[in-house]
């Protein structure tokens, strides 16, 4: 709406300036500066220009404030380095999916570890996911993936393999998988997946021994 108002004000501004020569002839601008100051044309010109300029300023400020609010709202639910949903954004998307889809979706949480540099592999993972899947960066070194239950088995195997590769990229990596239950809350489901991840990470540490110093 504000975009249309701003465009209309700019159009009126242009029309006002373009019509001034005609308005000066029709209304009379006077032969001298003193005559011009008290002429009908001067009153029209200053009033019209002032009102339209004020309207343009208000519309422009409204557009800037609107865009700023949209950006701030997006930043609250987006991880800046990757552009993926952060924990808040992922939970919102997960809850929406759980409210509209049957139980049986697979929720995977992947701990990449401090040695991982996974940004290129995150891009590849995003491209491999089905359209209805969700991918989020819920912590600086942790990814979450919602894989729909109806995902093709071959694609599911590829995606899970890529996630396992990410989870094994660092000594402190880990992987947690849970099936979503009917009527479950998104936060509770994510907590279950993270609990599974912690167990897996502890098992990995036990098999590998003490972590090397960075």
Q: Do 95 and 187 share a domain, yes or no?
A: yes
CB count in 10 Å sphere of residue 198: 13
Q: Is residue 82 part of a domain?
A: no
Q: Do 52 and 107 share a domain, yes or no?
A: no
Asked if 47 and 55 touch (Cβ cutoff 8 Å), the reply is no
Instruction: Give mean pLDDT, residues 178-196.
Output: 88
Q: Which domain holds residue 154?
A: 87-208
Token pair of 140 as six digits: 């600086």
Q: Is residue 109 part of a domain?
A: yes
- Number of folded domains that form the chain: 2
Confidence of residue 118 (pLDDT cuts 50, 70, 90): low
**Mean pLDDT of the residues in the chain:** 78
Model-wide pTM > 0.85? no
Q: Is the predicted pLDDT of residue 128 greater than 70, yes or no? A: yes
Tell me: the pLDDT tens digits for 94-110? 998 888 876 788 899 98
Asked if 31 and 40 touch (Cβ cutoff 8 Å), the reply is no
Q: Do 96 and 57 share a domain, yes or no?
A: no
Length of the chain measured in residues? 214
């Amino acid at each position: 709406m504000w975009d249309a108002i701003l465009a209309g004000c700019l159009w009126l501004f242009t029309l006002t300036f373009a019509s001034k020569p005609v308005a000066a002839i029709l209304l009379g601008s006077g032969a001298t500066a003193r005559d011009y100051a008290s002429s009908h044309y001067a009153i029209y010109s200053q009033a019209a220009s002032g009102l339209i300029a004020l309207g343009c300023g208000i519309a422009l400020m409204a557009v800037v404030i609107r865009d700023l609010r949209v950006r701030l709202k997006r930043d609250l639910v987006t991880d800046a380095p990757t552009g993926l949903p952060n924990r808040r954004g992922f939970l919102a998307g997960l809850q929406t999916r759980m409210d509209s889809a049957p139980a049986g979706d697979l929720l995977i949480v992947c701990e990449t570890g401090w040695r991982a540099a996974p940004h290129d592999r995150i891009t590849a993972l995003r491209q491999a996911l089905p359209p209805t899947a969700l991918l989020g960066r819920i912590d600086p070194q942790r990814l979450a993936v919602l894989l729909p239950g109806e995902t093709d088995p071959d694609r599911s195997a590829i995606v899970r393999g890529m996630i396992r590769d990410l989870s094994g990229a660092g000594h402190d990596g880990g992987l947690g998988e849970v099936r979503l239950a009917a009527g479950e809350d998104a936060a509770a489901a994510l907590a279950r997946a993270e609990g599974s991840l912690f167990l897996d990470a502890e098992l990995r540490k036990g098999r590998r021994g003490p972590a090397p110093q960075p």
